[in-house]
């Protein structure tokens, strides 16, 4: 997880806002970008996670039914559904499809690092909330707050290129 605190001994670049209103404006702008990132990616992450769990659970249930019920179960199911081929073949095919779906969802989550990105985004938002409150209450020096904001912006840019200022239409 990226450290969002300013680096020791770093000097403030001239582009950092020092005006209190501008600093708060930049902080709120960054939080808005992170909020949009979460709105777009958190539901996707939750859907993929839920789908992976549900599909793997259903696959397990489908394979357990013929195993526990034995030939009597599959014969009766074949008759009940009026199937031409044994029901265990359909059950196994459905379980295989569900297992593939679960595996695919897990792979998408892992390869995109979506869970990690959502977690890092939530952490950055909490850091920005604390920074804003500290600024409003006069608990932080402006230089410290500007450095911390810059570190948060840099860490956020690693989540998604759209979180950089050049992608938002705001000038540097």
pTM of the full structure: 0.66
Share of the chain above pLDDT 70, in %: 82
The per-residue pLDDT for 134 is 87
**What's the N-to-C CA distance of the chain in angstroms?**
26
Tell me how far apart the alpha carbons of residues 63 and 55 are, in angstroms, rounded to a whole number: 12
CA angle centred on 80, ends 77 and 83, rounded to 5°: 80
Contact 41, 114 (CB under 8 A): yes
19 versus 166: the higher-pLDDT residue is 19
User: What pLDDT score does 15 carry?
Assistant: 52
pLDDT digits (tens, 9 = 90+) for 131-143: 888 888 888 888 8
The angle at the Cα of 77, spanning 74 to 79, to the nearest 5 degrees, equals 110
State the pLDDT confidence band at 14, using cuts at 50, 70 and 90: very low
Comparing 71 with 4, the larger pLDDT belongs to 71
23-73 pLDDT, tens per residue?
Answer: 888 889 999 999 999 999 999 999 999 999 999 999 999 999 999 989 999
């Amino acid at each position: 997880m990226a450290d969002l605190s300013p680096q020791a001994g770093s000097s403030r670049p001239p582009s950092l806002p020092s005006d209190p209103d501008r600093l708060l404006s930049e902080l709120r702008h960054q939080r808005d970008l992170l909020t949009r990132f979460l709105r777009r990616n958190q539901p996707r992450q939750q859907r993929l996670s839920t789908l992976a769990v549900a599909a793997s659970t259903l696959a397990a249930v489908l394979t357990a039914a013929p195993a526990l019920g034995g030939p009597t179960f599959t014969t009766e199911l074949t008759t009940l559904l009026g199937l031409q081929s044994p029901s265990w073949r359909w059950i196994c095919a459905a379980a295989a499809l569900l297992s593939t779906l679960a595996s695919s969802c897990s792979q998408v989550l892992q390869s995109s690092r979506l869970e990690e990105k959502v977690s890092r985004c939530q952490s950055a938002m909490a850091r920005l909330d604390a920074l804003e409150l500290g600024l409003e209450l006069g608990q932080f020096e402006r230089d410290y707050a500007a450095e911390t904001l810059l570190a948060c912006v840099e860490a956020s840019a690693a989540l998604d290129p759209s979180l950089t200022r050049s992608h938002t239409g705001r000038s540097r």
